[in-house]
Amino acid sequence: MKNKLKFAARLWPIANKILLVMRLIICIMFLGLNQICAKTYSQQISINEKNISLENVFKKIERQTGYNFVYDEKVELLKLRTIDVDVSKQSLDFVLDKYLRDFRISYKITRKTVSLKVADVSMISKTVTIAPTTGIVKDEKGEAMPGVSVKIKGSQKSVVTNSSGFFFD
């Protein structure tokens, strides 16, 4: 009897390590299967239509994904405009980003509802970069004119020419 207890006592740490490894393997497998299921259930949209109204695009997306669209009266006017749609197995976000951008319509997805509204101009970030402007100011005789103020039309930026009549911003 004592021999059996000594043998069991020696095996106990090994058994604990084996059980720990088995638990870790089960956890890793569970997490991996969750990722596979998430990819399987993600919505894939395929639409290939020419000259289709936004309203019909919304209806096709509703049929393919089960998402419902809600929008205010400003979007109501825009949904009658027609576009050419060509997407194959794309996500809902990709399709909405691609085709609503031109209409300045923003969207928000909450559960199975897509809320649309016309984006405020202040919400749309417009980054305007003006290329550096350079040049030489000369008089009628073709001689350089130093110290001349040059203002870029449509901006608040102005520069002064150097001794060679050259300016840059």
Domains of the chain, with CATH numbers?
45-118 (3.55.50.30), 128-169 (no CATH)
Residue found by looking up tokens 């997490």 in the block: 31
User: 27-31, 53-57, 102-106: which has the minimum mean pLDDT?
Assistant: 27-31
What's the mean pLDDT when you consider all of the chain?
Answer: 78
Paired residues of 109 in beta bridges: 114
Give the pair of three-digit tokens for residue 131.
Answer: 């290329």
Q: Which structure tokens are listed for 121?
A: 């101009």
From the number of C-beta atoms within 10 Å of its C-beta (0-12, 13-18, 19+), residue 156 rates as exposed
- Confidence (pTM): 0.48
Token duo for residue 66: 């089960």
Read off the pLDDT of residues 67-118 as tens digits, 9 standing for 90 and up: 998 887 777 767 678 888 999 888 888 888 888 887 788 888 888 898 888 8
Q: What is the C-alpha separation between 103 and 79, in angstroms, rounded?
A: 9
What's the Cα-to-Cα distance from 23 to each of 17, 26, 31, 156, rounded to whole Å?
10, 5, 12, 68
